[in-house]
Amino acid sequence: MGNTALITGASGGIGYELAKIHAMNGGDLVLVARTIDKLEEIKADLETKYNVRVFVIQKDLSLHGSAYDIYNKVNDLGLEIDLLINNAGFGDFRHFAESDWPKQEKMINLNITTLTHLTRLYLPDMISRKRGKILNVASVASFCPGPTMSVYFASKAYVLSFSEALAQELKGTGITVTALCPGPTESNFHTVAVDGRKPKERKMPAALDVALYGYKAMVRGKVLAIPGTDNRFLVALLRFLPRSFAAAAVRKVQESKHL
């Protein structure tokens, strides 16, 4: 069985940690991100430490057609992808009516369209080989509406629903789909979401801990992976709360952190 993983958003945070974990387990990698210098650094480090092959592709995945570009480049390299890890994504904090539309559109393209397209491109190959694993990084935001981050929360709800539906469709095929739903995690996500300002935030889990939890869940073929007792409790609680109450609570929490 092959063991090559394609990881998007691999230059930092959870994506970078997932790359390290996979390399430690002897797997080859195709790493995708916008920053080629950082990708080259990671490539040199992982190849030296773990004696694996690492291929890097510079691509802005918020652009139309980027999934095709990645798929074609990987085919040109003669590689089969055994694990598809759709990690890349970003958010934006502000009221929707005041938001920058190009940024919202890029968020939808990255968080939803490219993730879905990459999955559509690689899934038939996996089905024909009767093996493969897909890890889609969603969020605890998947489980409720998110005033002040409306498009981000909605995009992650899509990722969760899409992943759960695929997991059901693929039962018995040898392919598993896992949705990783972390809460706030140490990364540059919050810096991007609030235009470089540091949000008021409690201490967050390390990206390595979240990545390790998600990787293990993917290997086991678990459909839903929610790292952290607090996050699992929150998700369980949300099932019993009226959605209007949950939306109001999210707004209050978000505004207390960022305003």
Catalytic residue among 16, 122, 152, 215: 152
Query: What distance, in Å, lies between the first and last C-alpha atoms of the chain?
Result: 51
Annotated active-site residue 122? The verdict is no
**Cα distance between residue 189 and residue 89, in whole Å:** 8
Structure tokens at 141: 């935001």
**Cα distance between residue 173 and residue 165, in whole Å:** 14
Name the nearest CA neighbour of 111 among 93, 147, 86, 134. 86
Q: Which residues are catalytic, by number?
A: 152
